[in-house]
Amino acid sequence: MRAEIISVGTELLLGHTINTDAAHVARELSALGVDLLQVQTLGDNAPRLEAALREALARAEIVITTGGLGPTDDDLTKETVARVAGVPLEEDADSLARLLEYFGSRPMSANQRKQALLPRGATAFPNAVGTAPGCAVPVGEGRWALMLPGPPSELLPMLQESVVPFLAGRGGAVIASFMVRTFGMGEGAAALRIAGLTDGANPTAATYAGDCEMFVRITAKAPDAAAARALALPAVDEVRRRLGPVVYGVNVESLEAVVVAELARQGKTVATAESCTGGLLAKRITDRPGSSQVFGYGLVTYANEAKMRLLDVPEAMLRAHGAVSPEVARTMAEHARRNYGTDFGLGITGVAGPDGGTPAKPVGLVYVALSDGQNVWLRIMRAQGRYLGRERTRRLASSHALDMLRRRLTGLPVEGDWALEEGGTAVG
């Protein structure tokens, strides 16, 4: 099965909005074993969209559009797809009921109501977050146009809950897909470790670079779900074996999700003390449902005075070594744990940049410490090559803290030179 993606929106062409929709859709198509032929981006122009749709449908069985389903006058995707399919728009009762429920006692304008209009014969995709439903429209023999809303917060749930099952049921096979998630190894190094596995046709293995992380997706296709899983799982196990401790989970949401769940399972708690990350580590932990069981104290001690008053960091230590130092990071971690009665303490201090660096303490230098009451571990994170910015430095530092805690909780070595590949050096 072949597919094309058409992203609709003048704001995409002007650069006002980054087109992440196409990447999300492309990843799901790859996982389903669907060949993606082409991705186009068009403005809010009905004649150009119509021409693009007709050309795409001549090449592919599936054409997926993103955007142009809202209530405004420039939302023309449904009307254009209906014209290409040669069918009228009709009010979909279920979509209208969801709209009425969404608005409740608030008035609903005619423009809002038009979102319940779908091309005749369409299969509706409910919108779990917003107002505009998506749908799949038959367009000729064995061909479909699938329409999805533009906002990623609306597109992603619809993609998972409606589009993937719809396409999987039309591929003549069942797909099993597993995402092996890692922290601490670059995509190039991982590709070398799993060389040979990425050459297979079924199952397939592909590496993806993420936000300070790297993923390997294993996908297998078979006549039924059990056979597809049986085909994929040996490859998953082999990837885990070759990559080793950098793997933090399979089909899990995030590093923080794994850490919070493991803390809860063990009945343990953690406190955080952050300087250059400004509370990002605490945010990532508390983003997780159930984090209140394991997390009660998160300190942002940006100023030296805050480190002294809230964490008992000695003034003499700050004068002798500076706020960005191994000594201060260790003290932050240990005193966060001890002062607030938790099982673990995490401390982060560094130079996030883009300014403030010195030859002795350059931009990108971050110290991350973990205390469990008996031992204190330290990682030193240094920019490798070009400095990649304040946001990435802070994100990476918080990920190192979470990974150190993950490893301690699961009995893995907390230190290791593998961290060099993600922009930092880890030492014990």
Alpha-carbon gap, residue 55 to 143, rounded angstroms = 13
**For the whole model, what pTM was predicted?**
0.78
Alpha-carbon gap, residue 100 to 335, rounded angstroms = 54
Same domain membership, residue 340 and residue 216: no
**Domain end marker among 141, 169, 197:** 169
Q: Indicate the number of domains in the chain.
A: 3
Same domain membership, residue 178 and residue 307: no
Whether 279 contacts 269, CB under 8 Å: no
Residue 242 carries which side chain, given as an amino acid letter?
A: R
pLDDT at 388: 80
DSSP H or E run through 74: none
Alpha-carbon gap, residue 293 to 115, rounded angstroms = 42
Q: Work out the angle at residue 164's Cα, subtended by the Cα atoms of residues 163 and 168, and round it to the nearest 5 degrees.
A: 120
Helix/strand/coil for 427: strand
Same domain membership, residue 62 and residue 91: yes
In a domain, 426, yes or no: no
Same domain membership, residue 366 and residue 285: yes
Alpha-carbon gap, residue 216 to 319, rounded angstroms = 46
Q: Which domain holds residue 103?
A: 2-169
Chain-centroid distance, C-alpha 424: 22
Same domain membership, residue 193 and residue 131: no
Helix/strand/coil for 269: coil
**Domain end marker among 169, 201, 234:** 169
Same domain membership, residue 119 and residue 62: yes
Same domain membership, residue 148 and residue 12: yes
Same domain membership, residue 149 and residue 272: no
Residue 297: name the closest of 311, 282, 308 by CA.
Answer: 282
| 8-state DSSP, 419 | G
Residue 363 carries which side chain, given as an amino acid letter?
A: V
Same domain membership, residue 270 and residue 405: yes
pLDDT at 31: 73
Q: Work out the angle at residue 250's Cα, subtended by the Cα atoms of residues 157 and 187, and round it to the nearest 5 degrees.
A: 95
Same domain membership, residue 317 and residue 299: yes
* Phi, psi of 374, deg, nearest 5: -115, -35
Alpha-carbon gap, residue 36 to 58, rounded angstroms = 14
Domain of 228, CATH number, reads 3.30.70.2860
Q: Token pair 């040979």 is at which residue?
A: 196
pLDDT at 2: 94
In a domain, 70, yes or no: yes
Dmax of the chain from CA atoms?
Answer: 79
DSSP per-residue letters across 331-385: HHHHHHHHHTT-SEEEEEEE--SSS---SSS-TT-EEEEEE-SS-EEEEEE---S
Whether 250 contacts 233, CB under 8 Å: no
Domain of 155, CATH number, reads 3.40.980.10
Domain of 319, CATH number, reads 3.90.950.20
Q: Three-state SS string across 118-180, please?
A: EECCCEEECCCCCCCCEEEEECCCCCEEEEECCCHHHHHHHHHHHHHHHHHCCCCCEEEEEEE
Residue 343: C-alpha distances to residues 67, 266, 339, 373, 403 (Å): 48, 11, 11, 7, 16
pLDDT in tens, the chain (428 residues): 899 999 999 999 999 999 999 999 998 887 787 889 999 999 999 999 999 999 999 999 999 999 999 998 888 999 999 999 999 999 999 999 999 999 999 999 999 999 999 999 999 999 999 999 999 999 999 999 999 999 999 999 999 999 988 998 776 677 788 999 999 998 888 999 999 888 888 998 988 887 789 999 898 888 888 999 999 999 999 999 999 999 999 999 999 999 999 999 999 999 999 999 999 999 999 999 999 999 999 999 999 999 999 999 999 999 999 999 999 999 999 999 999 999 999 999 999 999 999 999 999 999 999 999 999 999 999 887 778 899 999 999 999 999 999 999 999 999 743 333 333 333 33
Beta-sheet pairing, 214-222 with 62-66? unpaired
Alpha-carbon gap, residue 109 to 117, rounded angstroms = 14
In a domain, 421, yes or no: no
Residue 359: C-alpha distances to residues 146, 275, 277 (Å): 55, 20, 21
In a domain, 422, yes or no: no
* Phi, psi of 128, deg, nearest 5: -80, -15
pLDDT at 424: 36
DSSP H or E run through 337: helix 326-339
